[in-house]
């Protein structure tokens, strides 16, 4: 077999086999740009590990793969990160074997580490209200930031979905937005009253028009719903900075991320009686299993409120009396 990459080649150059795998993921599987970037980082990390052993990607054996996973564990990475990086390696060798770019699959017996399923962290409704009210003023940036927060929470969007919105994707008359999610899957989401009003204020002479440059650098910038300070399409990092800025103002910066607003949207909808299938469609989950975890969050919040509020939910029962409660049996 022809050597794919000499260990002396620069660290950022991927082996041709890895590049072909990424191309297959993009073309055949329709993986999103951010997902492909994560795969690339994982493959680079694996390749560097092999280079330290003087091995090439198609020459690796089972000991190499297991050694790599064990190294990830000793680095103190989160179980979810170890699992994701392990799945990347397994997928690579399955592809290479099918395409006859490797003689065997060294990752065939590799079991991905189990990842304990954590519960999504959601803000309380009072915290969300405080966050939204933290945007003060009425200049172009205040209008933009208010619209960003209202849409993230009101529509339950991922940050990449928000930044990918173009002017033609939003219909404020019908209060609907077209969103492209993971794998470029399209869905239509409702735009609530507060989010619609915030977008209307943003899409005005005093809002978006004030940030438009004299000359657009790219066509995609001219079509972008949200603009940065230079008049270009707002990036994920820029939107993240907006969320963090107002999180700091209300003391939520340690727990607040754009995805927490998405979690909060789903949790609050279920708290108020929304059907789980409706929430699944709103969030763009491919599987109902992903959405079901929010029902556990909602139930736990209900139980917590019940234990705090109901007089017979607390205290110990002794001789028919509820100790610590105001009501006696």
Q: Which residues are part of the catalytic machinery?
A: 158, 182, 259, 262, 285, 294
The CA-based angle 281-174-239, given to 5 degrees, is 65
Q: Of the candidates 280, 276, 279, 236, which has an alpha carbon nearest to the alpha carbon of residue 258? A: 236
- Let me know: does 107 contact 90? Beta carbons within 8 Å: yes
Greatest Cα pair distance in the chain? 83
Please name the residues in contact with 284: beta carbons below 8 A apart, sequence gap of 6 or more: 158, 161, 179, 181, 182, 185, 187
Q: Of the candidates 248, 250, 260, 245, which has an alpha carbon nearest to the alpha carbon of residue 297? A: 260
Sign of CA dihedral 195, 196, 198, 202: positive
How many CA atoms lie less than 13 Å away from 68 in the CB half-sphere? Answer: 34
């Amino acid at each position: 077999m022809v050597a794919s990459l000499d260990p002396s080649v620069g660290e950022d150059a991927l082996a041709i086999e890895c590049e072909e795998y990424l191309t297959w993921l993009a073309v055949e599987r329709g993986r999103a740009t951010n997902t492909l970037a994560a795969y690339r980082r994982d493959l680079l990390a694996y390749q560097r590990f092999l280079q330290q052993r003087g091995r090439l990607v198609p020459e690796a054996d089972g000991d190499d793969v297991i050694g790599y996973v064990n190294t990830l564990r000793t680095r103190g990475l989160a179980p979810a990160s170890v699992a994701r990086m392990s799945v990347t390696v397994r997928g690579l060798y399955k592809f290479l074997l099918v395409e006859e770019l490797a003689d065997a699959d060294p990752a065939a017996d590799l079991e991905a580490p189990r990842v304990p399923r954590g519960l999504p962290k959601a803000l309380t409704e009072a915290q969300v209200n405080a966050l939204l009210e933290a945007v003060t003023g009425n200049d172009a940036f205040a209008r933009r930031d208010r619209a960003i927060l209202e849409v993230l929470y009101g529509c339950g969007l991922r940050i990449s979905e928000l930044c990918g919105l173009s002017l033609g994707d939003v219909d404020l008359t019908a209060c609907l937005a077209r969103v492209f999610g993971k794998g470029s899957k399209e869905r239509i989401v409702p735009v609530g009253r507060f989010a619609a009003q915030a977008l209307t204020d943003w899409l005005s002479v005093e809002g978006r028009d004030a940030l438009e440059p004299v000359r657009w650098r790219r066509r995609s910038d001219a079509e972008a719903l949200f603009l940065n300070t230079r008049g270009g399409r707002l990036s994920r990092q820029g939107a993240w900075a907006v969320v963090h800025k107002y999180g700091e103002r209300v003391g939520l910066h340690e727990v607040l991320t754009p995805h927490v607003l998405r979690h909060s949207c789903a949790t609050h909808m279920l708290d108020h009686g929304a059907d789980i299938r409706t929430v699944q469609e709103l969030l763009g989950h491919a599987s109902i299993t992903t959405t079901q975890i929010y029902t556990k969050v909602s139930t736990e919040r209900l139980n917590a409120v019940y234990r705090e509020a109901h007089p017979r939910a607390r205290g110990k029962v002794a001789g028919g009396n509820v100790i610590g409660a105001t009501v006696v049996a």
